[in-house]
Amino acid sequence: MLKIVKQPYRYSLDYSLLNKQRAEVYGYIAGIFKKMGVNRTLGITTSEFLDFLIDVEKGYQDNPYHSFYHAVDVTMVLYHLLVLYDMSKYLNQFDLAMLMLAGICHDIGHPGNNNQFEISCETEKAKRFSNLSVLESYSAVMTLDLFDKHDFLRNIETRSKKISKENVYMTKDSFSSGVVKMILATDMFCHFTLRDNITALKDKIDHHHHHENQLKPLFDHKEDPYVYFKEHYFNSETPNSVFENDEDADLNQEQRLMMCNILIHAADISNPCRPWNVYQQLSRLVCLEFFRQGDVERELGLPVSPQMDRNKANPSKVNVGFIDFIVRPYFESLCQLFPKAEELVDRCDQNREEWVQLSWEEAPDPNNTNIPSAKESLGGDIEEEIKQM
């Protein structure tokens, strides 16, 4: 029987979802969404949310890493960042609802290879999205389709009118647009711009109305994947969200959206901030997925992508580089806004030392395929679990 967890892993990132039963994982997600007030904000029941979540899981492929397990893991990290490290302090309840939904949906449909592979193979997805944030765009489309299938946002305008102080309210399009933009922001292409925008937001908050440090757009205007969504899904005049005219707010609507983009990317790259045993397990799954892509590239006569050749890759070196050039600087910048997150930087440093000390010969064999897939880890039949509620 599915049990909603009221205090899911409350004050720690020291958790692992590996080998958890599906009903238990669903209970954690349902508990997190209830704790963050998402169902209340959207005006939906727990049963309706679970119906949606079942379809979200069905949309994920059984990849070693980019699976429903990864989506749940990122969503739980988001929860901890928001609650444990006070990262929700500048966001309103609609921002939080968009962010949590973007977290659970951000890699839906992921095929287990990267954007460059899609482009090199000239896949239908690559053509559809003009080679721009191909997989992120595909995940965003699948998310919008599920919103429509479940009529998930049918109460959003009514709910926002009850909450809004002014005659400004959230529409289906403005909410959906926010979720799409957050999913697109998980493209690693955005990483350095997001990091720069952390500093810009810090300046804005420190100086409030006296100084405006303009945010950098995540994509060049001519190569913005969001153009596809404006053309196919949203009116170009999609209204801003609720509280736009609140002069007392630290951040306006655009800045809050950028904050959400920053946070979802932080959660997505947060593996080095986890306890060593969890990080090491996740790293093995990443390696396995990378090597599978490298094998396919070799079979197709394509150049094998960097770090994806199982005969040449050095996971220890790759992880040290990932920490040094990507994760640590990003979380160090994030500490400007949220000082409590300093312990995550410390964890990064500790894990870096683990990789330095761990020679490739001593490391877990990434070619070991005896790793539980998402399906094997979650197990069970969720439809039957729901019936027993």
Which residues are catalytic, by number?
A: 66
Burial (CB count within 10 angstroms: exposed 0-12, middle 13-18, buried 19+), residue 276: middle
| Of 156, 50, 47, 29, residue with least CA distance to 94 | 156
Residue 103 contacts by C-beta under 8 Å, 6 or more apart in sequence? Answer: 71, 74, 75, 78, 264, 267
Instruction: Report long-range pairs for 320-325 (Cβ below 8 Å, ≥24 apart).
Output: 320/352, 320/355, 320/356, 322/272, 323/272, 323/348, 323/351, 323/352, 323/355, 324/352
Token representation of residue 32: 């997190």
Is residue 106 a known part of a binding site? yes
Is residue 70 a known part of a binding site? yes
Is residue 268 a known part of a binding site? yes
Q: Are 152 and 52 in contact (CB under 8 A)?
A: yes
Q: Are 269 and 262 in contact (CB under 8 A)?
A: no
| Of 57, 62, 75, 74, residue with least CA distance to 112 | 62
Q: How many residues does the chain have?
A: 389
Distance from C-alpha of 101 to C-alpha of 176, rounded to nearest angstrom: 10
Is residue 55 a known part of a binding site? no
Positions at the binding site:
70, 106-107, 268
Positions at the binding site for Zn(2+):
70, 106-107, 268
